[in-house]
C-alpha cells in the first residue's frame, strides 16, 4: 500500500485507551496505510490483540483522559526510536484522500473564536483547559494564538513538543496541540473541525479529505458506514479474522 514504509517519512504516534476491539482504530490504520506516507506506527498505551506490525509502548492509564494522552505524547517524544518528527493522531482520525506530500499543518483559527463556540454550548474541564492554555500563550508573547485542537493528524517535532509540555506542565488540562503549534510557530491552513458527532449524513461528503467520529456516530451513524465502505480491505497492521 502506498502510504506504508516510506524511509524518509515520519512515524505515526497514536495514544490508545484501554478498549477491547477498537474498530475505529482498525479503519484509521487502513486509511493511514492507504493515504498517509509514514515509516512506522506507534501505539502508546493499549494495543488491541488484532494489531500486527506496529510498535507498542505500554503505559499505565490511571489519570484523566487528558493526563493520559499528555503522558503518552511525552513518552513518544522521549523514546529514542520514534522519529524526530512524527505525526500525532488519535485512534478515530481517518485520512480519506491521499496526502502524497505528507500530513499538512492545519489549524482551527484563533482560540478566541473556538472559545466563544464552546462557551455558548457547555462548560467543563476542556473549556477551562482551553482558557488556561490561551492565557499561558498570551503570557509567553502570543496575544492572539491559533487553535490546533482539530480532529486531524498533526506533524510534531519531538524537541518542540517537549518544550511545550514543559511550559504547560502546571496545567492539568493542557491543550498540547495548541501550545505546541503556537510556540513552534507552525502557522498552517485554517479548516473547520471534521469531527462528526451525529448519525445523520451531513457535514461531510466524498470530497472530505479528513474525518473523525464519536463512538456512536462510527458504530451506528451514516459516517461510520461511509468510512467502512471507503476502506474494505485489511491493512498490513491487522491480523485478519481476529478481533
Q: Residue 3's pLDDT is what?
A: 46
In a domain, 78, yes or no: no
Which pTM value belongs to this model? 0.94
In a domain, 128, yes or no: yes
Q: Decide if pLDDT at 242 tops 70.
A: no
In a domain, 91, yes or no: no
Tens digits of per-residue pLDDT, 4-44?
444 579 999 999 998 768 999 999 999 999 999 999 999 99
In a domain, 83, yes or no: no
Read off the DSSP letter of residue 229: H
Tell me the longest C-alpha to C-alpha distance in the chain.
Answer: 53
Q: Decide if pLDDT at 46 tops 60.
A: yes
In a domain, 36, yes or no: no
Collect all residues with Cβ–Cβ distance below 8 Å to 226 and sequence separation of at least 6. 201, 204, 211
Tens digits of per-residue pLDDT, 177-213?
999 999 999 999 999 999 999 999 999 999 999 999 9
In a domain, 147, yes or no: yes
Residue 119 in grid coordinates = 462557551
DSSP 63-91: S-HHHHHHHHHHHHHH-TTS-SEEEE--T
Query: How many distinct structural domains can be found in the chain?
Result: 1
Collect all residues with Cβ–Cβ distance below 8 Å to 212 and sequence separation of at least 6. 90, 92, 93, 94, 151, 152, 194, 195, 196
In a domain, 89, yes or no: no
In a domain, 38, yes or no: no
Range(s) of the domain holding residue 134: 104-152+170-193
Residue 20 in grid coordinates = 477491547
CA dihedral 17, 21, 25, 29 (to 10 degrees): 130
Mean pLDDT, all residues of the chain: 95
Amino acid at each position: 500500500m502506498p502510504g506504508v514504509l516510506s524511509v524518509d517519512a515520519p512515524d505515526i504516534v497514536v495514544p490508545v485507551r484501554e478498549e477491547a476491539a477498537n474498530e475505529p482504530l482498525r479503519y484509521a490504520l487502513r486509511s493511514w496505510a492507504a493515504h498517509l506516507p509514514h515509516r512506522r506506527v506507534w501505539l502508546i498505551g493499549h494495543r488491541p490483540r488484532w494489531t500486527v506490525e506496529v510498535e507498542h509502548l505500554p503505559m499505565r492509564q490511571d489519570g484523566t483522559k487528558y493526563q493520559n494522552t499528555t503522558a503518552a505524547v511525552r513518552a513518544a517524544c522521549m523514546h529514542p526510536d520514534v522519529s524526530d518528527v512524527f505525526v500525532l493522531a488519535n485512534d478515530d482520525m481517518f485520512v480519506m484522500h491521499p496526502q502524497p506530500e505528507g500530513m499538512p499543518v492545519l489549524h482551527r483559527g484563533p482560540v478566541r473564536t473556538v472559545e466563544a463556540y464552546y462557551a455558548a454550548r457547555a462548560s467543563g474541564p476542556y473549556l477551562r483547559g482551553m482558557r488556561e492554555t490561551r492565557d499561558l500563550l498570551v503570557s509567553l508573547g502570543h496575544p492572539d494564538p491559533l487553535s490546533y485542537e482539530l480532529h486531524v493528524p498533526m506533524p510534531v517535532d519531538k524537541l518542540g513538543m517537549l518544550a511545550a509540555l514543559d511550559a504547560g506542565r502546571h496545567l492539568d488540562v493542557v491543550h498540547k496541540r495548541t501550545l505546541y503549534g503556537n510556540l513552534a510557530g507552525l502557522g498552517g491552513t485554517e479548516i473547520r473541525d471534521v469531527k462528526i458527532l451525529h448519525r445523520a449524513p451531513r457535514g461531510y461528503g466524498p470530497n472530505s479529505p479528513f474525518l473523525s467520529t464519536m463512538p456512536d456516530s462510527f458504530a451506528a451513524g451514516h459516517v461510520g458506514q461511509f468510512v467502512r465502505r471507503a476502506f474494505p480491505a485489511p491493512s498490513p497492521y491487522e491480523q485478519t479474522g481476529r478481533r
